[in-house]
């Protein structure tokens, strides 16, 4: 007799869980904007009360995004196209046509947003390559010399 009661109890527990799952989903979708605003308020409060943790978390997130973007632009290789240096600290994404400043000015962004656009496939990588800071600066100087000669 006890086993039957236990089975019924487990069935009702499962029904309750399923009901709670459905209710939570419906409640979430019906109050989506309100829930997002509440979550945003909690995030701001947490960041203000834990600035060191928040800073470190954002810093590591930006670093992970940079590495992913470098892998995509480098087509699997994270190294300078010219001198083959592999130090991530000095590698940057170079706009081969020299239009990076123009694009950043148009959108008012750079850095991590560019990395996000590359990762999400919103930015083509045909006109991008990886260069270290020295090679990137040399590329810029050569472009300026070509412009002045014309």
Residue 57 placed within a domain: yes
Band of pLDDT at residue 3, cut at 50, 70 and 90: very low
Residue 25 placed within a domain: no
pTM flag (> 0.75)? no
Residue 142 placed within a domain: yes
Residue 79 placed within a domain: yes
Band of pLDDT at residue 106, cut at 50, 70 and 90: low
Phi, psi angles (nearest 5°) of residue 91 = -85, 145
Residue 17 placed within a domain: no
> Residue 130 in contact with residue 80, Cβ under 8 Å?
yes
Strand partners, 33: none
What does the alpha-carbon distance between residue 56 and residue 54 come to, in Å, rounded to a whole number? Answer: 6
Residue 136 placed within a domain: yes
Using one digit for the tens of pLDDT, what is the confidence trace for 32-79?
Answer: 899 899 999 999 999 999 999 988 998 999 999 999 999 999 999 999
Residue 1 placed within a domain: no
Using one digit for the tens of pLDDT, what is the confidence trace for 6-26?
Answer: 445 566 788 888 888 888 888
The domain tally of the chain equals 1
Residue 4 placed within a domain: no
Query: Which SS3 state, helix, strand or coil, does residue 95 take?
Result: strand
């Amino acid at each position: 007799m006890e086993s039957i009661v236990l089975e019924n109890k487990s069935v009702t527990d499962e029904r309750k869980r399923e009901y709670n799952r459905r209710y939570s989903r419906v409640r979430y979708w019906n109050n989506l904007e309100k829930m997002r605003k509440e979550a945003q308020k909690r995030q701001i409060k947490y960041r203000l009360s834990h600035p060191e943790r928040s800073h470190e978390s954002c810093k590591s997130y930006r670093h992970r995004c940079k590495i992913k973007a470098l892998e995509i632009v480098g087509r699997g290789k994270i190294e300078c196209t010219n001198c083959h240096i592999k130090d991530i600290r000095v590698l940057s994404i170079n706009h081969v046509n020299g239009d990076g400043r123009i694009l950043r000015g148009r959108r008012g962004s750079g850095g991590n947003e560019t990395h996000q656009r590359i990762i999400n496939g919103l930015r083509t990588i045909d006109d991008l390559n990886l260069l270290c800071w020295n090679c990137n600066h040399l590329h810029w100087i050569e472009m300026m010399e070509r412009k002045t000669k014309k």
